[in-house]
A and B are shown apart, each in its own frame.
Chain A
Amino acid sequence: MATGAVTAPRPQASDRARRAATERSRGENRLGWKLVAPAVVMMLLVTAYPMFRALYLSLYKYRLTAPEDREFVGLNNYLAVLTDSLWWIDVGNTVFIMVVTVAVELVIGFAFAMVMHRLIFARGIVRTSILIPYGIITVVSAFAWQFAFSLNNGFVNGWLPLVGDDFNWFGSKWPALFAICVSEIWKTTPFMSLLLLAGLSQISEDMLEAAKVDGATWWQRLWKVIIPNMRAAIMVAVLFRALDAFRIFDNIYVMTRGAQGTESASFLTYRQVIEQFELGIGSALSVLLFLSVMLIAFLLVKLFKVDLAAARQEG
């Protein structure tokens, strides 16, 4: 009532202007949604809907080879997965690969970024080379490293000093995981280094110069000036790579097929659905995989306090 009393005596001209403004913003709103709608629908069509369907199917005992026998089992599929040591071994492998690859990539990627940042010659060549591992098909990278480590055709045993010529890298778990990590690290370090390079180029030269004048050593400048100032870039790079590494599938499929206990959570899910036709259990695994990724993303964002939307939106 009170507000009505206040607005009523306003002059008509401003009222009309305001109406025009809201009309305009409403139009802009409508146009905005019309333009983003196709993309949003397309993105959700293949993700949200199947995810809900996985949620639904995960409550059933459902083998694709015997669709008539489908029966409701409640949370039994989840129970079966979570009480099976295989799931935990696979999750352990996946987390191991994620932590190792991201840590190594961060160090090497940072070193590469520092070199590229300071480089005054051959910039085009470096940029081209660094994009080759990024662009190469993951399956090809996996083959290249599988052959490099292989007993029959690989040069690695011959080149490494402490390794015997007859050492079978794919014969036991940890060496096989090592080979998998090498392929993953080789292929994705360039991406990491480019993101870090972009962060590095944001740091003002004046600040570094000032630190130098004040007598800061190279090491001090690195830890007190450079790294704190590119926190955002490091966080974005780590978050993206960590979630990407958690989904590891291609390298494992090609290099070991999950043999010697090298399976990842993604590979287990794939195997249940596509090879075993266990859609019920497979769907439960899908949901668990999805929840794991959400959890990791949540933990990383909380841990690093990154405002991702802001980091992305600023552009």
Chain B
Amino acid sequence: MTGLPASLLESVAAAAVREGLADALFTRLKTPIGRLLVVSGPQGVVRVAFETEDEDAALAEVAAALGPRVIGSDREMAAPRDALAGYFEGEPLDLPVDLRLARAPFRHAVLERLREVPRGKTVSYGELAARAGNPKAARAVGTACARNPVPIIVPCHRVLPGTGRLGSYRGGPERKAALLDLEGIRTR
């Protein structure tokens, strides 16, 4: 973090966006499940990172894929900020996403199908594997979820093991439980 005046940083960001100099934009957002890093490219949100993740690594991952002109701005990221804040207050979340950080085709397919699972509903790993075209690939679905670059927006917290237990989560099981609780789903 820097001690530079926010007004200076926002002016640089606004001018950069105006001139088309930004490869990606990011913001940090306070939520009931802790701070989130949200990064957008020209086509949508490319990365959401929990505060437990290495922020520098997440931004470097984006820079490698979209270009090094990665710029922080709360103002330029107002739309995703508002949408996520709304989600935590119970509203539906509909933000454009860019899944290019999930390169493997099957992982990509899993995340695409997962986007169709609405708030308040869940799906099992096996069922999601079937929807993505390979019913036997429940384990690969687990990997796809564990590496989901845009958690919350692509709702991997809605994927549960067939046992009815909670299962694992990139942001830790307590965050998965908190998100499901927020959506009115009780888990064991």
Partners in one complex: no
Give residues in A with beta carbon < 8 Å to B. Answer: none
Give residues in B with beta carbon < 8 Å to A. Answer: none
